[in-house]
Amino acid sequence: MNWMRDERCERQGKVSEMAARRHGISVLLLMAVLLIPHTGFTAVKKPIRIGYLDNPGALLVVQAATYGFYDEQGIRVILVPFRDSHKGLAKLDRRKLDAGAFSVGETLKRIAAGSRISIIAGGGRNQQPDQLADLKTDDVGKELSQGIVLAVSTQSGASGKELQVRLVKALILAHRALANRTSTGGAAAEAVSLHLDPNPDFWKLQQLWTYHGLQNETMTRDFLANHVNEEIYCDALDELLDEDGRKDPVLLKLNSRAVCVPDCCPAKPEKKR
């Protein structure tokens, strides 16, 4: 009888041990779920390859990675530096890159040549805007043409609107972080010679398009407009303003200069109330 009692106790002990293990696994799974950051959207599984010109004008693209804003938007980014915009845009055109921050002059020329790319955000240039007000002088046209814009390939992994909005949100957040740093005394020397603006600014692009004589008789009048998607920037800015409660002075300043159609094309459907 004793051996039966011992065997029963042993079986009960194994059952208890198995239950404890199951409980432990359940706790670990629960902890893992709780530790997953809840950003409100699904993280992008495939890394997005962003090429950029090794130039101060591409600072927003680089700083968005440094500050972790791409991660915050659920995007895995691989940054690929280039010393030459022409080579970078060729890679973008061949879909070896998903997006690229290259000189605006070279980007516009690539668009005129028939590349399937679209400008979705601005970047930076080496002078303050008040020094570059007049496009009639050749020096000013050249200087503005060296500024940076962010373009995406319309056939790449970054062709979806929601993903593009997230990318531009990361750039706007980087702009805000740098603006706040400058206002508190940091990066003062940087601010003197570098003007940063995530706004693609279609009208300035159109002026440069005319300056370079890129419109020809075979093109429709809205040829350039079809390659500049300001809706992405407007939606990204609008989402950030909503998240912030429309109180942040940097975001409000950007909003005051943006040319956006109210409630034009939301990136995702509104939640039902």
pLDDT for the residue numbered 3: 47
pLDDT for the residue numbered 35: 36
pLDDT for the residue numbered 245: 85
- Residues 213 and 185: their CA atoms lie apart, in Å, by 42
pLDDT for the residue numbered 62: 97
Please name which of 187, 58, 66 lies closest in space to residue 124, comparing C-alpha atoms.
Answer: 58
pLDDT for the residue numbered 195: 86
Does this model's pTM top 0.85? no
pLDDT for the residue numbered 194: 83
What residue ranges define each of the domains in the chain, with the CATH number in brackets?
48-233 (3.40.190.10)
Q: Which residues contact 123 (CB under 8 A, 6 or more apart)?
A: 57, 58, 59, 60, 61, 101, 147, 148, 149, 150, 196, 197, 198
pLDDT in tens, 126-157: 765 454 455 555 666 777 888 999 999 988 77
Asked whether the predicted pLDDT for residue 178 surpasses 50, the reply is: yes
